[in-house]
Amino acid sequence: MPTSTTSGISMSSVAVTAARARAFHPLFAPLGPGAFIRRAVAPAGRAGAAIAATAGRRKIRAGTSRSAPLPWSRICRNKTSRIGASAETQAMAAGKQDVTLKVCSWNVLLPNGQAGATDNPAWFVNKYYGSRTPREIRTWEHRHELIRKRIHELDADIYALQEVAAATFEADFAFLASAGYEHVLHNKHRFRPATFWRRDQFELCGARCKDRTLLVLLRHRISNAYLFVANCHLTGGSGVENAQTRLRQIADVVGQAEKEARKMIAQLHKVPQTLKKHERSQLDMTQYELALEEFALCCMGDFNASGNTAVRHFLREACVTPEFQEPFQEGSLTSKEKHHAFGPLTDIYEDWFGVQPTYVAPDLKSVYIDAETQGPSALFGRCVRHIFEKYTGGGDRMTSDQLLAFVRFVNDGNMRGGILRAYNALVATRPGRESDKFIDTTISADDLIELCFSEVVAGMLWSLRYDFEMCGAPDIVRPDVFAENLDHIFVSSHLQPISCSDTLSQTERAAIFERGEFVPNEWHPSDHFPISGVLCWVRGARPGKVEYVPTSL
């Protein structure tokens, strides 16, 4: 298995002079008049306008940190021998030929290899499936084989996976190690991102674990080009607070990439770390900015939001202001302007090939939520009252033991879940009698409706549908399809999209949209579909738009 790397990896500091760096890395070659003009001209269109609008607001802070170099403050020299190398390899190493690579992002849905374990709650994943789905289809053995097969079919150079489980990670993805990949696994949380890359193509220069994001810096072994890969699994949920959190998370990881790139450039150019402010102003910041733009950036993952969000605006326009508001929401998402120096990024699906669904599920909101009151629908109330009558035997109050019996049954014996948490919170608000401190722990049918509807508000509609089916609640007419593009691949201007894979094949589309075979199911192991694209790593200005080349998986 490849070495698992976290934010605490040990790397030596830069010990390469600027002259030696320029000898093997064309990025830091002196900028002649022609090169200066070519690189200084912003691309036309929306990207160029955004660059011009943000250029004056960027604050260059090179060499201001007094702290020790970060783990990736090492510039890795190409150790591949040029003797006997092919003409293509020599041209690539000299920066005269572009590099082509394929990237892929996929939320694989938390592995359920250890039933009942804290890091792998099998009961939780089981509820993504319909209650009528055979048990053997829901097992991790079946899901793992589907994941392994799909990843091998995608055949990417870099994989950004979300929702992997630390407890079983080594065994779950050993097949990628045997295929020649190395990886970095996030060091926190139950749902972790992990990034894989081909070891014969890339060398790891460093990694940083942020809030629900994982940043790695890779060096292409032949061309010595540098690529930041931000693997994101942003906070889900509606509302202003969650939108603010998502914006902070993406701004933090992109800002970290910018910070590390600036440090590397400053060290290569021997910029003292202790320069005063007035001394820093005398540096050639134009050349510094141009050098920074040579670091390619790829932000991909599960962004848990779609449409014109603040995260999308920040990446595509290189900035977001306090005046920006997301659709159907009121309130500012940031108190001050946020911006980054990588220039406007593009979503390879939205900007080049067209939006495609990455998350497909039954549209249960229209079934469980009343359109006028935004409260529980009549059908939702009937389903909950059916459960109430089943466990109370027709009584007018449900005891704590009866509620626990219901929770234990629908959660495969696990005494946990949102309904139980909501019940405990409800009981905690009830006052006790002064004499014996007695607290009434029974609930009415209306109370149970309120507890279950809290799961709807939390977005756990699929979990409730499973509960209703397990308890024999009234059958629900087959719901419409809810399809969104929650997963994205954003790239900087030096990564030109060549082609992308369709998220769903024609067969899969027919199964979902015509026959109602919602995922996960027998033939797909997750509630998300993978996205992937072939990119051309260009050195100069971006060429014109290319034609979409669809690929059926």
Q: Span 309-315, mean pLDDT? A: 97
Q: Quick one: pLDDT at residue 8?
A: 38
Residue 103: strand pairing partners: 158, 533
CA-to-CA separations, 52 to 316, 318, 493, 497, in angstroms, rounded: 14, 11, 15, 23
Helical packing angle, 378-392 and 445-457, nearest 10°: 130
pLDDT at 59 over 60: no
pLDDT at 98 over 80: no
Give the chain's count of helices (H) and strands (E). Answer: 20, 17
Higher pLDDT, residue 151 or 89: 151
Q: Span 413-431, mean pLDDT? A: 87
pLDDT at 144 over 60: yes
Higher pLDDT, residue 399 or 19: 399
pLDDT at 371 over 70: yes
Residue 207: strand pairing partners: 216
pLDDT at 112 over 90: no
For a pLDDT cut of 90, what percent of the chain falls above it? Answer: 56
- For the ranges 151-160, 231-240, 272-281, 342-351, the one whose mean pLDDT is highest: 151-160
Residue type, 167: A
Q: What is the pLDDT of residues 10-38, one digit of tens each?
A: 332 222 223 333 332 333 222 222 222 22
Q: Quick one: pLDDT at residue 6?
A: 41
- Of 228, 250, 231, 257, nearest to 162 (Cα)? 231
Residue type, 258: E
Q: Quick one: pLDDT at residue 539?
A: 62
pLDDT at 75 over 50: no
Burial-class residue 93 by CB neighbours within 10 Å (0-12, 13-18, 19+).
Answer: buried
What is the greatest pairwise CA distance in the chain? Answer: 92
pLDDT band at residue 289 under the 50/70/90 scheme:
low
Q: Span 380-387, mean pLDDT? A: 96
Residue 162: strand pairing partners: 107
Higher pLDDT, residue 449 or 80: 449
Q: What is the pLDDT of residues 480-508, one digit of tens each?
A: 899 999 999 999 998 999 999 999 999 99
Higher pLDDT, residue 175 or 124: 175
pLDDT band at residue 130 under the 50/70/90 scheme:
confident
In angstroms, the CA 195 to CA 183 distance is: 5
Residue 233: strand pairing partners: 302
- The CA dihedral of 136, 137, 138, 143, to the nearest 10 degrees, is 120
pLDDT at 190 over 70: yes
Average pLDDT score over the chain: 79
pLDDT at 475 over 50: yes
Q: Span 156-182, mean pLDDT? A: 96
pLDDT at 345 over 70: yes
Q: Span 37-43, mean pLDDT? A: 27
pLDDT band at residue 114 under the 50/70/90 scheme:
low
All domains of the chain in start order, with CATH:
8-57+69-76+206-360+497-513 (no CATH), 104-155+158-200 (no CATH), 364-470 (1.10.238)
pLDDT band at residue 283 under the 50/70/90 scheme:
low
- Quick check: pTM over 0.85? no
Q: Span 539-546, mean pLDDT? A: 42
Quick check: 217 and 228 in contact, CB under 8 A? yes
Q: Quick one: pLDDT at residue 290?
A: 58
Q: Span 528-536, mean pLDDT? A: 97
